Structure 1
Amino acid sequence: MSSSRKSLSSRCPREDEISELIFKLQALLPERRCRHLRRVSRDEVLEEVCSYIRKLHKQVDDTSERISQLLASTDLDADVLRSLLQQ
């Protein structure tokens, strides 16, 4: 085996490791946690994870926008608000 092929294969996770990681990802999804975890295709799990991450990004963006609006409409100092949010 060539050294490049050997180093590549030593870095790549095995099939069973990939399956276990996919199952762990599936368990992190809120809609999967509250019902019986069944094994689904990797594609389905990865699509759900991507969708969930997009949803979280939107929530962060919406929350940031709302905070910006609140800051603009109040006399609160940005540093005071930042310190309150970090608590």
Structure 2
Amino acid sequence: MRSRPRKSARMKIDTDRINNLLSKLQQLVPELHSRRSCTNEALTSKVLQDTCDYIRYLQREVHDLSDQLLQLLDTADIDANQAAIIRHLIA
């Protein structure tokens, strides 16, 4: 009958870990920074959804900035080898 306490202890650790990670996400994502810690499933879902939205936003920003850099490389007067290296790094 020792399996029940271990299972609940494992569940408690997992819940604590999840809550800790959600708290860290709230600190990292600007839209979530001002919210209080998650205490229920609805708030947890909102934190995860907002985090996914923020990651998508950052990916778009990286893509847009990479495009702008490539356009600048096309018009800049730099060595072809340097331009090739930069293109390779952002591809």
Under a length normalisation based on structure 1, what TM-score does the superposition of the two structures give?
A: 0.66
> Which residue type is aligned with residue 53 of structure 1?
I
Identity within the alignment, %:
36
Report if aligned partners of 2:32, 2:47 keep a CA contact under 8 Å in 1: no
Partner of 2:82: 79
Equivalents in 1 of 2:31, 2:18: separation in Å? Answer: 22
Please tell me the root mean square deviation across aligned C-alpha atoms, in Å. 2.4
- Residues 17-32 of structure 1: pairs in structure 2 closer than 5 A: 17-32=17-32
- Residues 43-62 of structure 1: pairs in structure 2 closer than 5 A: 43-62=45-64
Equivalents in 1 of 2:67, 2:48: separation in Å? Answer: 28
> Which residue type is aligned with residue 20 of structure 2?
E
Of the candidates 41, 44, 68, which is equivalent to residue 42 of structure 1? 44
Q: How many correspondences in the alignment?
A: 70
Uncovered stretches (5+) of structure 1, i.e. residues with no partner: 1-5, 83-87
SS in 1 for 2:22: helix
Uncovered stretches (5+) of structure 2, i.e. residues with no partner: 1-5, 87-91
Of the candidates 63, 66, 70, which is equivalent to residue 65 of structure 2? 63
Equivalents in 1 of 2:31, 2:14: separation in Å? Answer: 28
Deviation at 1:32, TM superposition (A): 2.8
